[in-house]
Amino acid sequence: MITEDMVRAALRNVVDPEIGLDIVNLGLIYRVDVLDNGRVVDIDMTLTTPACPAGPQIIEQVRREVLSLADVYKALQDVKINLVWTPFWNPSLMSEDAREELGLY
């Protein structure tokens, strides 16, 4: 069955085009739940700003990357993406590696 770790690994392929880092290391993924025996993946995520011009593109990439797991995990049928603003994203949510890459210490 698909797991949260597998979903997060797939989401590392989604790169914020303005920043050039993946959304997992940027801290944009707040929650991943695998529900209904692997049929549904439910994700809470945010963007770096509500006015992010790449928002629709990022959200669609999230959907595609997770659904691509259905090639191996045949039970997967749906991805629910909840765009949330609490907590509001800030650089402290990034991984240490991402902060270093952007020169934020």
Per residue in 12-57, pLDDT (tens digit) is 999 999 999 999 999 999 999 999 999 999 999 999 999 999 999 9
Does residue 94 form part of some domain?
no
**The domain that contains 42 carries what CATH number?**
3.30.300.130
Instruction: Give domain status of residue 35, yes or no.
Output: yes
Which of 64, 66, 24, 65 is CA-nearest to residue 46? 24
Q: Is residue 96 part of a domain?
A: no
In a domain, 98, yes or no: no
Task: Say if 28 falls within a structural domain.
Answer: yes
Reading phi first (left if > 0) and then psi (alpha if -120 to 50, else beta), residue 36 is in left
Question: With 80 as the cut, is the pLDDT of residue 105 above it?
Answer: no
Please give the tally of structural domains in the chain: 1
Is 55 domain-assigned?
Answer: yes
Question: Does a structural domain hold residue 95?
Answer: no
Structure-block tokens of residue 32: 């991943």
Q: Report if residue 20 sits inside a domain.
A: yes
pTM across the whole model: 0.94
